Each structure stands twice: as C-alpha cells, then as structure tokens.
Amino acid sequence: MAAATTNEDLARWLARVALHDRAAFELLYRATCSHLLSVAFRISGQQERAEEVLQEAFMNVWHNAAGFNASVATPMTWLINIVRNKAIDQLRSGKTERATTGALDDEAMNLAADASFEPQRLLEDNLVKLRIDGCMADLGASQRQALALAYYRGMVHTEIAESLGAPLGTVKAWVRRGLDKLKGCLEAAGVTAA
C-alpha cells in the first residue's frame, strides 16, 4: 500500500467499486497490488501462481466489493483475506502441480529487475519484519502458534484445534485475541495495517 494511501481512501474506493466504478477499481488496484501479490507469493510459492491468485482475487473484489464491512475489518485486511483464501483454494485444488524448472529459471532471471529487491526497500521491509517479530514475541505461545498455523499454513479453526489438541472455542479465542493484541502492538510500533 502506498504511504500516502489511508484506510479511508481504500474504504472510499471499495464503496465506489461496489458501484462498478472502474477509476476507483484502478486506484484500489494500484495502491494494493504489490502488497497483495507478495501475500499470494508467500502462500503459493511461485510468481506465476501468485499472479493468477491476484487476478482471481481482484475479480472477486470487483464483483463483491459491496460485501466489505468497515466495522468487521480494515480494507487491507479484507483484501488480504480474499487473496489468502484464493491462494489456499488454489493450493488445495491441485492446480499448482504444473511447476517446471524452466519456469523457476525464468523467475530467477526476473528477480534482478524487481524493485522490491532494491537495498533501501529490503532494509525497510526487514525493519517492518523485525517489528512484526517483536510483536509476535509479545503474544502468548498458544496465540502465536494458532496464528502461525492460520496464516502460514492456511489452516482453518477446526484444523488448528485438531492440530493443537484444543477445544474449537479456545482456538477461536486465541486467534481473535492474538490478532487484536498483534494489531495494537503493530499500530504502536508504527506498522500500518496490512
């Protein structure tokens, strides 16, 4: 998300996208696509797959922007959840079995031109990562583990409960309270909502 873009901007654009305003959709896309692509890439593991996920996610946004509810989530959180769910769906559907060494080589060659690998950007990203790691360390072990299973392995509450051998209600509470605590810590550390 661009530094000048606020949650209010994103919410306003989403409201206009709900009315099928193409200009608002373009503004929303330009402000969020690089961050959302990185979310998709972290889950899918390949640039081509991540781009497919992003395209599907933005089609979903175009058709379902009216479903955004600012009282439930920030605009960026809502968008990340759409991308995350699309990426997990893609992994589970088996569509991701077409990887080839040639495609990986092409990706490696394209990395050199990627602005996200410039030294200043890498430094900024690492500083944000350190802040996030610090906030994660402040969580209780159960909250940290439940969040990690949800966001890095794509597990749903029932799968987390089974994996941790904990009651479903307890796992839901760990995730909800962990997210609330993490959000407060990140805001205090100056990390914008993602």
Tokens 């810590």 belong to which residue? 185
Residue 29 confidence (pLDDT) above 80: yes
Q: What is the pTM of this model?
A: 0.50
Cβ pair 191, 131 in contact under 8 A: yes
Question: Which domains, ranges and CATH numbers included, belong to the chain?
Answer: 1-115 (1.10.1740.10), 118-194 (1.10.10.10)
Residue 140 confidence (pLDDT) above 90: no
Residue type, 44: S
Tokens 């805001």 belong to which residue? 187
Residue 127 confidence (pLDDT) above 50: yes
Per-residue pLDDT, 97:
53
Label residue 173 by pLDDT band (50, 70, 90): very high
Q: What is the mean pLDDT of residues 119-128?
A: 70
Residue 128 confidence (pLDDT) above 80: no
Cα separation of 54 and 41, whole Å? Answer: 9
- Assign residue 66 a region (left: φ > 0; alpha: ψ between -120 and 50; beta: otherwise): alpha
Residue 17 confidence (pLDDT) above 90: yes
* Stronger pLDDT, 127 or 168, i.e. the higher one: 168
Per-residue pLDDT, 100:
45
Closest CA to 107 of 58, 45, 53: 45
Cα separation of 11 and 6, whole Å? Answer: 9
Cα separation of 139 and 181, whole Å? Answer: 7
- Residue 44 buriedness (CB in 10 A; 0-12 / 13-18 / 19+): buried
Label residue 32 by pLDDT band (50, 70, 90): very high
Q: How many residues does the chain have?
A: 194
Q: What is the mean pLDDT of residues 102-126?
A: 59
| DSSP letters spanning 121-136 | HHHHHHHHHHHHHHHH
Tokens 């994103």 belong to which residue? 10
Residue type, 151: Y
* Contacts with 157 (C-beta within 8 Å, 6 or more apart), sequence order: 150, 168, 171, 172, 175
Percent of the chain with pLDDT over 90: 31
